[in-house]
Chains A and B, each alone.
Chain A
Amino acid sequence: SAVISQKPSRDICQRGTSLTIQCQVDSQVTMMFWYRQQPGQSLTLIATANQGSEATYESGFVIDKFPISRPNLTFSTLTVSNMSPEDSSIYLCSVGYSGASSYEQYFGPGTRLTVT
């Protein structure tokens, strides 16, 4: 299994500012994803982070609000831009390995964001 770390683990931010969350994996992975978990809710997929190209966003999420970078096979960032209190959530990075017909996806510990 992969070991995934996220920075910061939590933050309190002012409305209108931006926060960049980092995700680091201890091994090269093919797939990296970003999820959001609003208070008391399940996980919602934001986007797939593609190495060397633009991320693929799910319906309801746009690049201007959640720009994503993935410069190599072990690292990705998610920025939450122009934050509002509605962006208060846990943001989770996950990774997966392609090449197998059935594979497992591993999750980081999450970044707990509070916007005031």
Chain B
Amino acid sequence: DTEVTQTPKHLVMGMTNKKSLKCEQHMGHRAMYWYKQKAKKPPELMFVYSYEKLSINESVPSRFSPECPNSSLLNLHLHALQPEDSALYLCASSRRLDVAGQETQYFGPGTRLLVL
């Protein structure tokens, strides 16, 4: 099973709302990622967790707050977003991070976020 699940599939929120995106995998992977993808652009890395610890924060604004409560679950908490934050948010996982870089990444279907 190489499945990464994400909920919700779609989300519409106002600029004063607080919402959360959820990502789950049961492949025993110990590295998990959040990416942001704007229309007609490639995915851009936001955060990387390794063994439930934040390894990379790509200078993401504090209105995005990641959380990794256990090895299977990754959340992205959203607060006071701007319309320009509307995008497809992708979660991915890989077996591990090591000195050679990460191995094959498996992506979830994404959450399409619209900020009004």
Please indicate whether A and B come from the same complex rather than being unrelated chains: no
